[in-house]
Structure 1
Amino acid sequence: MTSILTNTNAMAALSTLRSISSSMEDTQNRISSGLRVGSASDNAAYWSIATTMRSDNAALSAVQDALGLGAAKVDTAYAGMDSAIEVVKEIKNKLVAATEDGVDKDKIQEEITQLQDQLGSIAEAASFSGENWLQTGLTTATSSETKSVVGSFVRDASGNVSVKKVDYTLDSSTVLFDTSGNGNGILDKTTSIEDASFTLNINTGGVVSPVTVAAYTIDQVIADTGSVFTGDSATGGAKSYVKVSDDVWVEAVDQSTVPTQEVAFNDTTNGIMWAVDTTAAPAAATAASVSGLTIDSNTTATQLGKLISMVDDALGSMTSAAASLGSISSRIDLQEEFVSKLTDSIDKGVGRLVDADMNEESTRLKALQTQQQLAIQALSIANSDSQSVLSLFR
Structure 2
Amino acid sequence: MSIYRRTSVDAALYVLRDIGRDMYQTQRQVSSGLRVQKASDNGAYWAISSTLKTDQKAQSAIRDALGLAAATMGTAYEAVDSAIDIVSQIKAKLVAATESGVDKDKINTDITQLKDQLRSVTQSASFNGDNWVTVTDGDDPANPREIPASFTRYSDGRVEIGTLSYEVDLAPIGSTSSKDARYLVDDRSGGNGEYGVLTSSYFASEAGVSQDYVMLATAGNSAGQVEIGVSSATTNDEVNEMVVVVDKMLGQMTTVGSAFGALEKRITLQSDFAQALDDSYARGISRMIDADMEEQSSRLKALQTQEQLGIQSLNIANASYDTVRQLFQNV
TM range (shorter): 0.7 to 0.9
CA offset at residue 323 of structure 1?
0.6
Q: Quote the residue 2:90 is aligned against.
A: 91
Between the aligned residues of both structures, percent identity stands at 45
Matches within 5 A, 1:1-394: 4-137=3-136, 143-168=141-166, 169=169, 172-181=180-189, 182-184=192-194, 185-190=196-201, 191-192=204-205, 285-291=210-216, 292-387=227-322
TM-score w.r.t. structure 1 length?
A: 0.70
1: CA distance, partners of 2:111 / 2:170:
27
Q: Call closer, same or farther: CA 1:78–1:170 in 2, change over 3 Å.
A: farther
How many pairs does the alignment contain?
Answer: 303
2: CA distance, partners of 1:192 / 1:384:
112
CA offset at residue 138 of structure 1?
8.2
CA offset at residue 350 of structure 1?
1.4
Q: Call closer, same or farther: CA 1:391–1:296 in 2, change over 3 Å.
A: closer
Q: Quote the residue 2:220 is aligned against.
A: none
CA offset at residue 3 of structure 1?
6.3
Query: Any conservation in 2 of the 1:78–1:322 contact (CA below 8 Å)?
Result: yes
Q: Call closer, same or farther: CA 1:308–1:6 in 2, change over 3 Å.
A: same
**Unaligned 5+ residue runs, structure 1?**
197-284
Query: Any conservation in 2 of the 1:138–1:144 contact (CA below 8 Å)?
Result: no
1: CA distance, partners of 2:307 / 2:259:
70
CA offset at residue 322 of structure 1?
0.6
Structure number with the higher strand fraction is 1
Structure number with the higher helix fraction is 2
2: CA distance, partners of 1:9 / 1:148:
76
2: CA distance, partners of 1:193 / 1:391:
120
**1:128-158, Cα deviation, whole Å (9 max, x unpaired):** 222211111489xx95243222212222233
**Unaligned 5+ residue runs, structure 2?**
172-179, 217-226
RMSD: 2.7
2: CA distance, partners of 1:303 / 1:354:
76
Query: Any conservation in 2 of the 1:3–1:386 contact (CA below 8 Å)?
Result: no
Other structure's SS at 1:163 match? strand
1: CA distance, partners of 2:230 / 2:318:
115
Query: Any conservation in 2 of the 1:109–1:295 contact (CA below 8 Å)?
Result: yes
2: CA distance, partners of 1:80 / 1:134:
8
Other structure's SS at 1:150 match? strand
Q: Quote the residue 1:264 is aligned against.
A: none
